[in-house]
Chain A
Amino acid sequence: MSQLEIKDLHVAIGDKSIVKGFSLTIRSGEVHAIMGPNGTGKSTLAKAVAGHPDYTITSGDVLLNGASILAQEADERARSGLFLAFQYPSEIPGVSIANFLRAAVQARLAEGEELDATAYYKRLYAKMDLLKIDRKFTSRSVNDGFSGGEKKRCEILQMAMLEPKFALMDETDSGLDIDALRIVADGVNALRGGPSAPGILLITHYQRLLDHIVPDHVHVMWDGRIVKSGDKSLALELEAKGYDWVKKEFAAA
């Protein structure tokens, strides 16, 4: 059982304060959904926790199993067990998915340990089958010329291959049609059911993703912090009342 604790986190981009006192604890196997209107700091939170160099953590802490990860570079955090599924994954021309994932898997091996290429491909193909990704994909450049759905499936494929302890999923549903959404959700749900189920922070704007990936907890984010928490019914309430309801209730606070 692992635990990711985000404690009173404050994040700034340049001089602009974006996340203002965000606190949340996630345990293995739990799915926490973070909902909220645009510009409330959801993506900033995810990128800051993942270690993006443009985001400055001005105060607070992020602890993975009790140890702060804030001194670690993004790659060290990833190797410690963190995974960020990007809202807009980078396109990397000339770097094939196979070589990219291989480098990522290799990075997790001990110094001097060689990757078992046969086992690697076997595992990769099994995960691809699960996510209904054509095997020809492996020779394509990472995200280069991918449709929105392909990019998101590719993110889930990476998550499945790297088996993180915690996944931060940033607007994974954006740009997906209903079929692609279902495939992505199935992929995530398959990981949830496994013995080493990760803790998931699911950032979303819409409730429809939560029909497919049912969260244990739902949090409403407003102006850089959590203002309301509840179970799945909170998402439905938000859907019914809209974000204006949040704005009215909390803008004055």
Chain B
Amino acid sequence: MSASTLIETKSPVGSFTSEAFAAHLASQANSPAWWLDRKRAAYETFASLPLPSRTNESWRFSTLAGLTLDGFTTDVDFIKEQITASEARISALELKAKGGQMGASFFSNIPHGGPLVTPLELASRGVIFTTLSEAVIKHEDLLKAHFMAQPQKLGSEKFAALHTAFVHDGVFLYVPRGVEIPDPIVILHRATGRMAVFPHTLVIAEENAKVTVCESFDSTGSASNFACGANDLYAGPGAQLTYVAAQNWSRDTLSFQFNSTVVRRDARVRSLNLHLGARQARHESLSLLQGTGAFSEMLALTVAEGAQEFDQRTLQIHQAPNTKSDLLYKNALRDQSKTIFSGLIVVDPDAQKTDAYQSNRNLMLSDDAEANSLPGLEIQANDVRCTHGATSSRIDPEQEFYLQSRGIAKPDADELLTFGFFEEVLSRLDNEPLHDALRGLIGTKFQR
């Protein structure tokens, strides 16, 4: 057998052909030239880069055969037909209940129910809550400074470029200096049919601002979707930003999600990503600690089952002294599922007194599941405290027996113990309804 027969023959653009891109650009005709130019450049990058290969260290352990780009549609009219107005209305109500006084928004690439409206009281204090498409026109400087502004370092240059090229719309939230928004802002992204979705959320919390953003990603029906989303979080000096995301795409979805978090002096960002859905889901998360006293708390929970694969790659970069990062990723694995955690802490030469923590814990609920852990450190300063670790454990048979001896059947006992395992992460959320909502979502994975 000659070597050439082993060469990857899958199309590197798949459904995202130059014709599809031209059609997408045509749908963005109202956007300014700089935005369209940026999209064109991104498309060039996407089309020119190869699909990840086995030799690429940042894709170690990933199932590359699952990364197919074929068979999806970016046609916005198709979406309009699929997500009916009544469904949009129901979901909007559902969100409103969860979102409290601040409006919630509902996207399937396009926003349902028209443009977003900033409540008057918040608008008067300078809060901007609008769609990405409108922000591109009205807030060019902020967009240029923050939209996909951090270099992709975790392996998905190609897919991040695809996101920029095809991103249709999304949420733009700007919280000015000193403004606190008490209720969480809720954003729902929904895919349907064989749809390719490109959710985007951009949050800018200026000095001493405070805000909580919750995102939910799901699908109608069980069709195969393609999701390629990103969120950019920026916390100015002293800002407090909480970001909670629940990924619950259909079980036949290929999902990519890219996060970048910039944390300035004395700011604090807490993010929690819950991973439940998709066939194969790649999540890349980058935290940049840029000012003294900055703190980034990176949390994630995964319930993997069937043949699901969850691939999480993280980077904590300490660029200033006295900064802190705390990463805790917990995975519960059932059946033949697979998880990959690859994390790196980087401490720049002058980031003395860095306090960095990175921990990946896996609860193996099946002998056939596979958890891969690749923790890493790259320290260039000499006075730092960096701890990392990875563990995999099974259900403790004595705990299981204890629960069973109270009449709780084994599957229920294992469910309780899994929640117990997750509680260390869930309990970091001080918002009780949010905590309960996440527990409820996790519970859906244990329904028998």
Cross-chain contact A93 with B406 (CB below 8 angstroms): no
Q: Does B344 contact A (CB under 8 A)?
A: no
A126 within 8 A of B: no
In the bound complex, do residue A103 and residue B402 qualify as a contact, i.e. CB atoms below 8 Å apart?
A: no
**B95 touches A (CB below 8 Å):** no
Given A53-B397, A86-B402, A90-B396, are A107 and B408 neighbors across the interface (CB < 8 Å)? yes
Decide: A108 near B417, CB < 8 A? Known: A86-B402, A92-B399. no
27 contacts between A and B (CB under 8 A): A51-B404, A53-B397, A54-B397, A74-B401, A75-B407, A75-B409, A75-B410, A78-B407, A84-B405, A90-B398, A90-B399, A93-B420, A94-B421, A94-B422, A95-B417, A95-B420, A100-B403, A100-B416, A103-B403, A103-B406, A103-B412, A104-B403, A104-B407, A107-B407, A107-B408, A108-B407, A141-B420
CB distance from A64 to the nearest CB of B (A): 14
Chain B residues with Cβ under 8 A from A75's Cβ?
Answer: 404-410, 413
- Which residues of chain A (133-180) have a CB below 8 Å from chain B? 141, 158, 162
* B21 CB-CB contact with A under 8 Å: no
CB atoms of B407 and A73 under 8 A apart? no
User: Of A73, A86, A89, A158, which one neighbours B404 at CB under 8 angstroms?
Assistant: A73
Which chain B residues in 11-45 approach chain A with CB under 8 Å? none
Report the Cα distance A215→B394, complex, angstroms: 41
For B398, the chain A residues whose CB sits under 8 A away are 90
CA distance A190 to B399 in the complex (A): 28
Task: Say yes or no for A99: interface residue by CB 8 A criterion.
Answer: yes
> Is A212's beta carbon under 8 Å from chain B?
no
- Determine which of A53, A99, A103 lies in contact with B401 in the assembled complex, contact meaning CB atoms within 8 Å: A53
Residues 54-78 (chain A) with a chain B CB within 8 angstroms = 54, 73-75, 78
| CB–CB B402/A89 < 8 A | yes
Q: Please report the number of residue pairs spanning A and B whose Cβ atoms sit closer than 8 angstroms.
A: 82
Give the CA-CA distance A186 to B412 in the complex, in Å: 32
Interface-centre pick from B399, B407, B412, B413 (highest chain A CB count, 10 A): B407
A104 to B417, CA, bound (A): 14
B408 touches A104 (CB 8 A): yes
Q: Which residue of A lies closest to B427 (CB)?
A: A94
The 4 closest A-B pairs by CB, nearest first: A94-B423, A94-B420, A78-B407, A90-B402
Bound-complex Cα distance A83 to B427 (A) = 31
Partner of A162, one of B396, B403, B406: B406
Most buried by B among A90, A93, A99, A108: A90
A46 shortest CB reach to chain B, Å: 10
Q: Is the CB of A103 within 8 A of B423?
A: no
Contact residue among B410, B417, B419, B423 (Cβ-Cβ distance under 8 Å from A73): B410
Tell me which of B409, B417, B422, B427 contacts A92 (CB under 8 A).
B417
For the complex, what is the distance from the CA of A24 to the CA of B397, rounded to whole Å? 29
Are A78 and B424 closer than 8 Å at their CB atoms?
A: no
Contact B401 A104 (CB under 8 A): no
Residues in chain B near residue A226, CB distance under 8 A: none
